[in-house]
Amino acid sequence: MSVNGCSGGDSASSPTGPGNPTAQTVDVFTPGLVFSPAFVTIKVGDTVRWVITGVAHDVTFATVTGAPQSIPVVTNQTHSRTFNTKGNFPYDCRTHPGMAGQITVD
């Protein structure tokens, strides 16, 4: 029973998820009264950054299990959300009816 008690080593059991070293970040911009790109597909553990410039916008997620916290009305700010749950996460800008997007995590 002389197991090496070293911590922070070789746990190769979880290739994806929080702390995934290959996690990516995708940017969504607000070039007008639209989110661009409006539809983004990412992997579990990836991050989306909303780069909100110009007119003030919000990012309000539909009440779906695993949806991140909504972003309040802001301008000239960047807000990041990391997605650790698979699913479809639609959101809209309550300030501008019809301004909407969706994050798909697969």
Residues found near Cu ion in the complex (CB under 5 A): 57, 93, 95-96, 99
Hey, which residues does 101 pair with through a beta bridge? 91
Least gap, CB of 73 to Cu ion (angstroms): 8
Are the C-beta atoms of 81 and 69 separated by less than 8 Å? yes
Nearer Cβ to Cu ion (45/101) = 101
Are the C-beta atoms of 16 and 81 separated by less than 8 Å? no
Least gap, CB of 76 to Cu ion (angstroms): 14
Nearer Cβ to Cu ion (78/95) = 95
Q: Tell me whether residue 27 is exposed, middle or buried, using C-beta atoms within 10 angstroms of its C-beta: 0 to 12, 13 to 18, 19 or more.
A: middle
Nearer Cβ to Cu ion (46/92) = 92
Least gap, CB of 85 to Cu ion (angstroms): 25
